[in-house]
Structure 1
């Protein structure tokens, strides 16, 4: 008789890790329990010995991420009593962790938004505690900083350090860790205004999630997307209504996530019956694709205008950063959807838009290498993605709190990261 196979003691951790990697790769709603089980090598029903449902896996995975980051931070802080050395150890530890666990870093960036308010608050509280622990030694070595600056600069460093999770560019572990550590230092040592603007109150969110009590709405289709473009000045009522519908959908997708929003939710918020929406957009997937094309057009337009107006690579890079900061602050909902929902696009649109995104990043990389010829293109790409992530984090795409007066500071930090790291 064969010997029964013993269940590994770390099976729960294995399941949570597999779930986290799949959530980050394909989005929380794009992954089924059976797929998670298959990744671990067990049957679907066996998962329920460890987790009651998929949501419990998300909660566990986000908690584990916070625990892992906190443990790495605690070890690094304990390695020295000198504040500067403490920070150097922390930056090195977090850069190493970010590179080694880039496949689950998306929990920090985007997937935690699917947490219920109680668990989202718990997750953010854990990150805020970590930021405070790093801001403390920074306050010691930079006593001249205004009260809120140490936390702001630490948050900026966190955004740069977390950036490997936001892209797929090949990276050398040792070189990436070194670059990210230096990026962290560039941000922690940046100048800030003597009087920082007070953070704005968080934007109010609906008390309930659209569609939370019904089955998931239709999955993305392979239909051709409706390409939403700005309505001309002489546009008729139909064009104006189409623009209003698209703006409403983008706002709801940002607040609640694509899968939690149904066509009836968009119709209600737009003042239309759901059936009337189909006159403007054949499906919810077409609405999402239209949002992506809108964002891609605006990023492309900013790139073209910046390059045409710039006389040097330095000026071109500055204009690109300032234009992206303006877009992020001015259209936070659109930028957030553009960054977070690509897994829900039809395949053809996703591949097309990723090509557009790569071309935009290529322009940033080309200009940065022109400014800093000692950098290899692969190294410049790491810094560009770190800078882009900093802008979207501090610009409100992931946390709608900074006032408009933060624009110059965010642009300056993004430029300093690329120039000084």
Structure 2
């Protein structure tokens, strides 16, 4: 008996257990959202007990914050490893920008399955943590805007920051979809598209006003039927705080109703969300149908670009909700809306193939997703700019991303 006990292997805790937990949790948060992941889910994914998980993290929020800060640290560390040239000639600046873009794209592709928590799930970070995360991304943009200043001496610092944001948004777009491509060609495609933004983006961006909010709609105070007012109030609340954090009470208060008054028009938050997503899908589908019927492919693509940018700028909250919160719908509604989203991308790829004959359809699909991501990020960054100016500038950047 003593010999048998001596032969049993000694169980030791893996040294990288904490990193394994973070990796599993990052994928879970990215795929299902912060609110739909429990600590037990993470423990099951790692193959440990919940008690063992709590030895590493006190609660789910601490785990989520650690993941968010670690992922951005990977990006900043990758760019810090790139040596800046001593001189600032255009050739050296271009090589520096390419090296930074390669470093960012390498890390982003490596964490493709989890990187999209930044875009939407970061809404659930506490204010001080969101501020720290924003500071890290500001530093990352600065690392790219430095060589861009040499490449684009015609641009002011504010525009250079926006151009850097757009270039990084091109790369980040791969975390928002699952279209497959080998790592090498994918990184090359991302670098070239991002570099196009740095070198070919339009001149000075629109000014940002200290007050005002572009062309954004008046959330819930606009006239109309009560159901429409409630839908608009729900969209605003979901965009601002996320579907799971928003409450029926605040949606009701936004239009001067009690919660019971909401239920005379909607069965609950989920129906408001479904209505919002269906409205967005119908708007985009109508724009695509009009564009595809145009005899000139180039003009058709311009029409589609203009409609998409107009929607993003004028109804930014609805665009955000349609992009971010589909995962909160019931499974069948999710599948239906995902099919509509994929069909919309197909329409763009079809038009882009006509404009760029001979292009690889898969590469064009990546560029379309990159364009969508850039439009979304710039519409937020320019939310306090005059609407017409913002739409023109964002549209020109979109054309640059698409190589159209």
TM-score greater than 0.5 by the shorter chain:
yes
Q: 2:128 aligns with which of 94, 118, 122?
A: 118
Structure 1 equivalent of residue 299 of structure 2: 315
Structure 2 equivalent of residue 182 of structure 1: 192
Q: Is this contact kept in 1: 2:78–2:103, CA < 8 A?
A: yes
Q: 1:170 aligns with which of 180, 196, 199?
A: 180
**Structure 2 unpaired stretches of 5+:** 214-222
- Hey, what's the Cα distance between the residues in 2 that align with 1:284 and 1:203? 29
> Is 1:86 aligned to 2:71, yes or no?
no
**1:70–1:270 Cα change, 3 Å:** same
Structure 1 equivalent of residue 47 of structure 2: 41
Q: Is this contact kept in 2: 1:138–1:150, CA < 8 A?
A: yes
- Hey, what's the Cα distance between the residues in 2 that align with 1:289 and 1:37? 32
- Hey, what's the Cα distance between the residues in 2 that align with 1:150 and 1:363? 32
- Hey, what's the Cα distance between the residues in 2 that align with 1:77 and 1:187? 22
Structure 2 counterpart SS, 1:145: coil
Structure 2 equivalent of residue 392 of structure 1: 376
Q: Is this contact kept in 2: 1:79–1:89, CA < 8 A?
A: no
**1:402–1:112 Cα change, 3 Å:** farther
- Hey, what's the Cα distance between the residues in 1 that align with 2:385 and 2:58? 38
Structure 1 equivalent of residue 343 of structure 2: 359
Structure 2 counterpart SS, 1:76: coil
Q: Is this contact kept in 1: 2:371–2:402, CA < 8 A?
A: yes
Q: 1:198 aligns with which of 200, 204, 207?
A: 207
Structure 2 equivalent of residue 267 of structure 1: 252
**1:260–1:326 Cα change, 3 Å:** same
Q: Is this contact kept in 1: 2:113–2:175, CA < 8 A?
A: yes
Aligned ranges 1:318-333 → 2 under 5 Å: 318-333=302-317
CA deviations on 1:336-377 (whole Å, 9 max, x unpaired) are: 011111110011111111111111100100111111123111
Q: Is this contact kept in 2: 1:77–1:90, CA < 8 A?
A: no
- Hey, what's the Cα distance between the residues in 2 that align with 1:75 and 1:202? 39
**1:261–1:380 Cα change, 3 Å:** same
**Structure 1 unpaired stretches of 5+:** 205-236
**Bigger CA drift: 139-148 or 378-387?**
139-148
Structure 2 equivalent of residue 25 of structure 1: 31
CA deviations on 1:36-60 (whole Å, 9 max, x unpaired) are: 1111111112111111110011110
TM (norm. structure 1) is 0.87
Aligned residues: 384
- Hey, what's the Cα distance between the residues in 1 that align with 2:304 and 2:251? 33
How far is the alpha carbon of 1:402 from its aligned partner?
4.6
- Hey, what's the Cα distance between the residues in 2 that align with 1:369 and 1:343? 30
**Bigger CA drift: 78-87 or 277-286?**
78-87
